[in-house]
Amino acid sequence: MIYAASIFAVCKSSVLYAAGFLAEVSGGPRAPPPPGAVPRRGHENITDPLVGIYNRRYLDRRLEEEFARAKRYASPLSVLLIDVDHFKRINDIHGHHIGDLALYELGKLILQSIRETDIVARYGGDEIVIIAPNTTTALAEVLAERLRQNVENQNLALKGGADKSKDVHLTVSIGVADLTQEAKDSRALLLNADQMLYHAKKEGRNRVVIYGVIPSRPSFPLDE
């Protein structure tokens, strides 16, 4: 019986490993259901209904958990704070309905651009956070730049009133920060990313700025 139980445990472990491998190579992180879909149990409490990604409540909890885990095991952790450039203009020109659709499409594009282990959540307004566990600054910069380019190269055809399609082109600014000695808690880590986002927008938008590596370029006035 003991021998049989051992064989069963090994087989079960192999099946679980294979399932995890297939999930990883199949592409794309597991994500909350899109707006309008029937959420699985519990997802309605952690999903942003507009963008189709995790909400602020889930973000705060997971960021604290990942920060504590990174501190405990001395592993790298990075945070990306994303903001849509001139989003107010999109709402003013095309209306809030198109703005909402643009945010939803952005959420889908981000989910297609990240890894299985990354966590994506809406921070507020048109700001989105990516928590990247076990990710150094160098890797986070690669992830952020890939995402920035993917957004810039995408032209969104969104259905407006009377089923008229409107072309919307987005760009994003991204601030990146990693776990440093200065970051005493998860809020400080996010604040560092927010400061880098400010610099990205100040330096002309549509760019990535890394904490500790502030570019020396001519400054441009900030506007919405």
Question: What are the percentages of helix, strand and coil residues in the chain, rounded to 5?
Answer: 50, 20, 35
Q: Side chain identity at 16, as an amino acid letter? A: L
Q: Of residues 126, 167, 185, 223, which has the active-site annotation?
A: 126
In the numeric block, the tokens 């407006």 are attached to 160
Listed residue (200, 192, 140, 138) closest to 174, CA to CA: 200
Round to whole Å and give the CA distance between 87 and 196: 19
Write the CB contacts of 42 (distance below 8 Å, at least 6 apart in sequence): none
Residue 48 annotated among the catalytic residues of the structure: no
The residues annotated with a catalytic role in the active site are 126
